[in-house]
Amino acid sequence: MKIIDKINKALEDDRCFWSFEYFPPKTQQGVMNLYDRIERMCNLGPLFIDVTWRWGGKSSDLTLELCSNSQTVYGVEANMHMTCTNTNFGLIKSALEKAKDQGVQNILALRGDLPDDTVEFDPSVGEFKYAIDLVRYIRKTYGDYFCISVAGYPEGCVGPEDIDRDIQHLKAKQDAGADIVVTQLFYDVDNYLVWVDKCRAAGITIPILPGIMPIQNYGGFKRMTDLCRISVPQEIWDRLEPIKDDDRAVKDYGIEVAVDMIKRLRAAGVRGFHFYTINLERSTRMVLEKLQLVPTVHEVRPLPWSPSLSEKRAGENVRPIFWRNHARSYIKRTELWDEFPNGRWGDARSPAYGEMVHGEQVRLTADQAAKKWGHPETVDDVKRLFMRYCEGQLDSLPWSETPLQPESQDIQRSLSRINSQGFLTINSQPSCNGAPSSDKVHGWGPSNGFVYKKAYLEFFASPENVKALLARLEGSPTVTYYAVTKSGELLTNCVEDSPNAVTWGVFPGKEILQPTIVERVSFLAWKDEAFEFWSAWARAYARDSASAGLLGGVSDSWYLMNIVENNFQKSPGSIFELFDGLGQPLDAE
């Protein structure tokens, strides 16, 4: 979707909106970390994101990959930067074709800055000398397919003496087909508003989004404002001077400055704000929270998982619960499907899952893994790690790179307890009997609806613990389960292979939605990935180490198991009663 359409709708509704800018990291681990950050920040409700492009097109493929995956995996519209400085025509033509093929419909057309003073702008390189040339080419070649953004410079592209000339250039870019202006960062709100008035007087009518960059540290702020020739009110310098060596204090003051700027801009009628995040999360999140610019549940959670914006996945509204924390992997392994489930998974539907993606299970280096998870040498050591994660003392495990989901906070202690007993949980969902769809913890979907969930647990357990639990389950007719070893030995009490809906919602004027299911074929496809996490974790240690031996042994001999309490009217804690007296709790040693 073109972001100009979303912006116009927000302006029509007199509704505030915001967007986030990111840059492509230079390492693969940095890229994976950025994906995780984008996923988390999507919960802040950005109207779109954009991703920069290094001069000369050096990051063109990665920029496109980040944009395409953000739309396909996280369901957020992406605006792809494209610069023409020292970039040949073939690369630009190819990038635009690839963007169209992958459903990226938004381009920020820029002349682009050079990396440093050692490289000079060479107008003889490439067919496009300036951003307007790129705008004209895109419009001539692709018509209205792309939404085109361009840059605006409230304090002049080179300096204040260029402001009036820059406004005329901006007007020319609008006339050539630009849809949106995104401005360079600034800190003088009064000056910005005067500049906007000049733009309007010059006939510029397209939306103008102010660029907001919260101050992160004193040195970086000074370098950036000097480089971009940005004027900074003396009051800001005066406030920064006594705290310039305290990075946390500078960050907090930077949040205060951004909040004040946006309040003043809103009072002047501005509704859209573009955050230069520099790939950081906290400051942007704190600014939005302090301004109470919090999206509704419906805006950020139309389903319990983020719907893809890929055209071929349009209408997809059912997924297995197993990949809940691994959306990228699920998208990759299902990308070759001809159709995707809409309304129901379907009993007869048994598509082939693609090969799992290797190398993404544990993204930490060996040193980072050892620092975070230590050197476990016994099963009890592993139990303690899982318990610490459930109790919020550890922010990630190999199976989950983010802290425990908010909905699991109410069962946090119970999760910790069964981990202590040797049932190592990697996925969970408490029951929910008719919570309003607007509920901030359990809610999803359209307004005025009600959502339901069956209690679900997924965990690794030793053969002994599985045997004891299965004996217990014989007296629990409302509980269904699947348990499988790495080699594929499957145990289940499910008579049929039909899917079991574990999440559903009832909404006015709509059919019942069942977006999350448990299903045998999908579970067997997921188990290969789930066990591979043990192997990937083991590879972080020396091959002959006790840690590697322990983790490899668990992977080879334990079961991956899931259980569903189908009586959703039971309390969220009732499923844990099944584990009473099982295993060997750490506190009983």
Q: Looking at 21, 155, 529, 565, which residue is catalytic?
A: 21
Distance CA 476, CA 474 (A): 6
**Local structure of 140: helix, strand or coil:** helix
Give CA torsion, residues 412, 414, 417, 418, to 10 deg. -110
| DSSP states of 565-577 | E--TTS-TTGGGG
Return phi, psi of residue 244, to 5°.
Answer: -60, -20
577 is catalytic: no
Rounded Cα–Cα distance for residues 49 and 78 (Å): 5
Amino acid at 180: I
How wide is the angle at C-alpha 187 spanned by C-alphas 186 and 188, nearest 5°? 105
Q: Scanning the structure block, which residue is given the tokens 């598509």?
A: 351
- Using alpha carbons, select from 52, 41, 42, 47 the residue that is nearest to residue 19: 47
How far is 205 from 197, CA to CA, in rounded Å?
11
Kindly report the backbone phi and psi dihedral angles of residue 547, in degrees, each rounded to the nearest multiple of 5, phi listed first: -65, -50
Give the DSSP H or E segment for 228.
none
C-alpha 113/C-alpha 85 separation (Å) is 7
> 477: which 2 tokens?
């007719």
* Of 294, 347, 303, 352, residue with least CA distance to 327: 303
Place of tokens 């080419």: 137
CA distance 489 to 355: 20
Are 193 and 217 in contact, with CB atoms under 8 Å apart? no
Q: What is the phi/psi pair of residue 68, to 5°?
A: -65, -45
Cα distance between the two ends of the chain: 59
Q: List the one residue out of 530, 432, 413 whose CA is nearest residue 482.
A: 530
User: CB-based burial of residue 584 (10 Å sphere; 0-12 exposed, 13-18 middle, 19+ buried)?
Assistant: middle
Kindly list the catalytic residues. Answer: 21
